[in-house]
Amino acid sequence: LYRIPEKGCRYRVKIKLLLAKAKARNGYRKSNIERVEESEAERAGSAWLKGDLHVHSVHSDGDASVGEIARRARQLGLDFVAMTDHNTVSQLRDFGHTAGVLLIPGEEVTTYYGHMNVLGVKEWVDFRVTSERQAKMLIKYVKDRGYLPVINHPKRLGPEWKLGNVELAGYVEVWQGVWEFNNYVSLKLVDDLLLRGSWVGIVGGSDAHKVRREEEAGIFRLGHPTTWVNVEERSVRGVLEGIRKGRVIVTENPNGPFLMLKAPKPGNLKVFVEAQGAEGLVLRLVSQGELVKKDVIDSRRFFKVYRLRLPRDGGYIRAELVDPEGLVDELHHPDVIVKALTSPLRITGSCK
């Protein structure tokens, strides 16, 4: 991957030649995975698609093939999965829209100074980055090619991101694995950047490595959390464009709870919550780094309109659902368990 002992390492390569007809170009044998000509994730039309944006296969340090991951994702009800193996794109050879699940090509650029997902890749992205200057060049390289960079789990034990340029990347994985795994630190980073006027979007990702042996997955299980993206086109391009437009919700698992935030214009905020088992959760609205409204979800299908005094320009607002147990009014507290997050909405003269 990216760590080689200073003394080097000993290895042996065994090559076996068979007198048989080649099954793939360059002698590469593709996995036996189901391919669908037109899956549900390809048909046109605006919709919310749900998936996992951070998963590893046998092409790096995961335990499952691309096909196995796609089939498990379908069982969980996911529409898409981003295959983000460490410092390689060899998994793309096994790609296709498999088992009715849209596979998003990715690479987790893995360094001693932090990790960054690159979504939508068509070629290998070099991971040999050791300084903020080099990271700036790398992010520019990625964006110039139309790929989407995401700073992964910038928190203690994430591991942390120490190469700066978070604003330049523009997207942060604020939810890795279960919420309790220090994710409040990543969310605080985003709120701090937004408060300073730097616009960044959010996503979540399971960072799953054990899909075949799910009983050993611990806090990193496929689809936990789930990232929902509102798309105009059910394709890789559609998902990436939805993320770029900030049409993102992150939930605890594929079943929700689902939370949607709309702010038609400054001063008016519409909050829609549709979820199974969301009764009793607490809705919190956050603007300019402060908690501006708190309410209890009192029904399975919840709808309410709030009118708030919001900045006329340059601010933001986001919503979250949290567990009432151990709840404190502090925004970024290790005891507050988040169940769902919306992407921040920019407050301008014509809020979307």
Domain count, the chain: 2
* Same-domain status, 251 and 131: yes
> Which residues of the chain fall short of a pLDDT of 70?
1-4, 20-45, 97, 264-277, 310-314, 348-352
Cβ proximity of 326 and 242 under 8 Å:
no
Provide the domain limits for residue 240.
1-255
CATH number of the domain that residue 214 is part of: 3.20.20.140
* Same-domain status, 219 and 288: no
Cα–Cα separations (whole angstroms), residue 134 to 124, 139, 163, 273: 17, 9, 9, 42
* Same-domain status, 72 and 132: yes
Beta strands 80-86; 102-111: pairing state: parallel
Side-chain half-sphere exposure of 227, counting CA atoms within 13 A: 30
* Same-domain status, 109 and 40: yes
Place of tokens 């009983």: 215
Q: Name 116's bridge partners.
A: 109, 151
- Contacts of residue 348, Cβ cutoff 8 Å, sequence gap at least 6: 266, 313, 314
Q: Is 140 helix (H, G, I), strand (E, B) or coil?
A: helix
- Dump pLDDT digits (tens) for 130-149: 999 999 999 999 999 999 99
Amino acid identity, position 71: R
* Same-domain status, 173 and 226: yes
Cβ proximity of 248 and 330 under 8 Å:
no
Burial class (CB in 10 A: 0-12, 13-18, 19+), 6: exposed
* Same-domain status, 162 and 227: yes
Name the region of 296 (left: φ>0; alpha: ψ -120 to 50; beta: rest): beta
**pLDDT the model gives residue 304:** 81
* Same-domain status, 208 and 277: no
**pLDDT the model gives residue 262:** 81
Question: Of 254, 311, 245, 307, nearest to 277 (Cα)?
Answer: 254
Cα–Cα separations (whole angstroms), residue 96 to 38, 41, 89, 123, 299: 11, 12, 14, 16, 41
CATH number of the domain that residue 317 is part of: 2.60.40
**pLDDT the model gives residue 270:** 57
Residue 287's φ and ψ, nearest 5 degrees, are: -140, 135
* Same-domain status, 242 and 264: no
* Same-domain status, 157 and 190: yes
Amino acid identity, position 105: P
* Whole-angstrom distance, CA of residue 39 vs CA of residue 99: 8
**Among 221, 255, 289, which residue terminates a domain?**
255
**pLDDT the model gives residue 24:** 43
**Among 228, 255, 282, which residue terminates a domain?**
255
Place of tokens 């409040």: 184
| H or E element at residue 70 | helix 66-75
**pLDDT the model gives residue 97:** 53
Name the region of 67 (left: φ>0; alpha: ψ -120 to 50; beta: rest): alpha
**pLDDT the model gives residue 18:** 73
**Among 255, 280, 306, which residue terminates a domain?**
255
**pLDDT the model gives residue 306:** 82
pTM of the predicted protein model: 0.86
Instruction: Report the 10 Å Cβ neighbour count for 21.
Output: 5
Side-chain half-sphere exposure of 140, counting CA atoms within 13 A: 6
- Contacts of residue 210, Cβ cutoff 8 Å, sequence gap at least 6: 62, 63, 64, 216, 217, 218, 220
